[in-house]
Structure 1
Amino acid sequence: MRAGLIQTTTGIDPTTEAVQLSARIAEAATQGAEIVFTPEMSGLVDRDRARAAGNVRSEADDPVLAAVCAAAARHGVWVNLGSLALRSTASDKFVNRGFLIDPTGAITARYAKIHLFDVALGSESWRESAAYEAGEEAVVGATPWGPLGLTICYDVRFPALHRALASAGAAMIAVPAAFTRPTGMAHWHVLLRARAIETGCWVIAAAQTGEHADGRATYGHSLVVSPWGEVRLDMGETPGVAICDIDLDEVATARGKVPALQHGRDFRVTAP
């Protein structure tokens, strides 16, 4: 399987992002990508919630989703659209939702981010739950190469989710992200390698990078990690497209060496 990763610095205008994302998908397809992965918040990165509210649409009306579906069909590629900010149908909040799109442009799987980023990082404070509602269901999507588990960014810190995806059949796990620079420098590589090692899955993480129009900075370093924990691709901090060949036979090889998924057991905890 030839994967294309898009690393971008998404801004505050979804119409502009739709055009740019379509061009990146075309570029990846030209380089032979069969499936293209995009970052979290591929259509809008804006911490000004009042301004963002004017650009957030329903799934049916979102220009970025429409453009990406059209690009997938035009170039005959699968796309994991990492996530978009969309209006919820269940509350007055937004939802952070990712999509798996087939080469006809049809959406074959949807995933809403389960774990919301509510943290204080010294001078930076983030309360994703103030604007977004959390998802409640883990999702594995079908691809021609094998099942793909869907996650989004902060989910990477929750091993139980990734183990559940692998136990449900996932051979690959997508981790689209917009990691902050402080957390990225401290934890990004080790977290992604750990999730790959403990599940025996390929981990494919397309990321936001650089200085964004809303004032935030993201870490970049889109990665592909093998089931044995080897970093096969690191895009550094420069926006662009990169290609990585993925051998799904390595999943069985890694799990055969260390069958951790088979060895998991239920247990009790004793504590004071």
Structure 2
Amino acid sequence: MSERRMIAAAIQMSSTPDREENKKTAERLIREAASAGADLVSLPELWSCHGLEKVYRENAESIPGPTTDFLGSLARELGIYLLGGSILEKVPGSARLHNTSTLFAPSGELLAVYRKIHLFDVKVADREYLESRTIAPGKEIVTAKAGPATIGLSVCYDVRFPELYRMLALAGAEILMVPAAFTLQTGKDHWELLLRARAVENQAYVVAPAQWGQKADGRWTYGRSMIVDPWGVVLARCPDRDGFALAPLDLGCLESLRAEFPALANRRPEVYRSAL
């Protein structure tokens, strides 16, 4: 990692309800990404347990806890920044959980914790999704410093709410993280479109690791994990299998773009706060 450059990897998995199986897959892919030169590695949404709502509470844990300890130790061993996609977090005194993303430093330190704000309560062609039945929304917008870059955290359905990303950009975010488990029905039409839009309108890199394939409850997730540059160009994309997208992020070029094409110059954060 040079002064204003990073290499990012967006990991793609097809997680199951079996936490130990998922942990082995995640560790293998994280190690492969680090060996390929990545110094910022990211996992998808609910990578440690996915597909059966009835086992979510069994797999929920506190933060810090066993899964974040595992991620922190792996970040320290490999000397990387590691975004732990999202996991299910226990909420004291509540029957619901949080869908929570964590970011670790190469030292193993937990740098940031973000709880998904926008919950996936929708009807699509084949079924109804009610994430709020098991998940409580978060309330805090989160950025964190990661080496030469400022990272903005989000999770999946958040990507449909541009005001969140504008607030992250106004808070200094240069890399927007979007770990996801997009449905096949919405993903084939909107996934790339939304990621490229968030990159262009905020003049930021977007790193979007995703779930792919059919889940234990029968649903299909879209996959196509990708990394997008601030001009909206897709730098890397995963095919339909486990793996990772890998791309260099030139933060010096991003800084120049923001100076030469000052789309963020008219800063009125009060507008966006009122929109959330």
Interval of TM-score (by shorter of Structure 1 and Structure 2): over 0.9
TM-score under structure 1 length normalisation: 0.92
Give the structure 2 partner of residue 162 of structure 1.
165
Give the structure 2 partner of residue 20 of structure 1.
25
* Matched residue SS, 1:187: helix
Once the two structures are superposed, the pairs formed by residues 96-175 of structure 1 within 5 Å of their partners are 96-175=99-178
Aligned mates of 2:231, 2:113 — CA distance in 1: 28
* Matched residue SS, 2:265: helix
Once the two structures are superposed, the pairs formed by residues 38-53 of structure 1 within 5 Å of their partners are 38-47=43-52, 49-53=53-57
* Matched residue SS, 1:243: strand
> Could you tell which deviates more after superposition, 253-262 or 10-19?
253-262
Aligned mates of 1:60, 1:22 — CA distance in 2: 18
Aligned mates of 1:78, 1:14 — CA distance in 2: 22
Residues 3 and 33 of structure 1 are in contact (CA less than 8 Å); yes or no, is this contact kept in structure 2? yes
Residues 59 and 88 of structure 2 are in contact (CA less than 8 Å); yes or no, is this contact kept in structure 1? no
Aligned mates of 1:258, 1:135 — CA distance in 2: 33
Aligned mates of 1:228, 1:90 — CA distance in 2: 45
* Matched residue SS, 1:241: strand
Residues 153 and 178 of structure 2 are in contact (CA less than 8 Å); yes or no, is this contact kept in structure 1? yes
Give the drift of 1:255.
2.0
Counterparts in 2 of 1:200 and 1:27: CA distance versus 1, 3 Å: same
Aligned mates of 1:183, 1:20 — CA distance in 2: 26
Give, as a single letter, the amino acid of the residue that structure 2 aligns with 1:31.
A
Give the structure 2 partner of residue 270 of structure 1.
none
> Could you tell which deviates more after superposition, 242-251 or 52-61?
52-61
Give the drift of 1:56.
2.0
Aligned mates of 2:93, 2:165 — CA distance in 1: 26
Question: Deviations along 1:221-257, whole A, 9 cap, x unmatched?
Answer: 1111111111111113221133211111222233234
Aligned mates of 2:7, 2:162 — CA distance in 1: 26
Structure 2: stretches of 5+ with no match in the other structure: 1-5, 272-276
Superposition RMSD on alpha carbons, in Å?
Answer: 1.6
TM-score under structure 2 length normalisation: 0.91
Aligned mates of 2:74, 2:88 — CA distance in 1: 19
Residues 227 and 250 of structure 1 are in contact (CA less than 8 Å); yes or no, is this contact kept in structure 2? no
* Matched residue SS, 1:237: coil
Once the two structures are superposed, the pairs formed by residues 227-238 of structure 1 within 5 Å of their partners are 227-238=230-241
Aligned mates of 1:146, 1:37 — CA distance in 2: 15
Question: Deviations along 1:153-203, whole A, 9 cap, x unmatched?
Answer: 000011110000000111111011000001101101111111011100011
Give, as a single letter, the amino acid of the residue that structure 2 aligns with 1:72.
A
Aligned mates of 1:145, 1:80 — CA distance in 2: 16
Question: Deviations along 1:122-169, whole A, 9 cap, x unmatched?
Answer: 212100111100000100011112100000000001111000000011
Give the structure 2 partner of residue 192 of structure 1.
195
Give the structure 2 partner of residue 84 of structure 1.
87
Residues 118 and 128 of structure 1 are in contact (CA less than 8 Å); yes or no, is this contact kept in structure 2? yes
Structure 1 segments (4+ residues) deviating >3 Å: 264-267
Residues 56 and 85 of structure 1 are in contact (CA less than 8 Å); yes or no, is this contact kept in structure 2? yes
> Could you tell which deviates more after superposition, 130-139 or 23-32?
23-32
Give the drift of 1:264.
5.1
Q: Give the one of 251, 254, 257 matched to 1:254.
A: 257
Fraction of identical pairs, as percent? 37
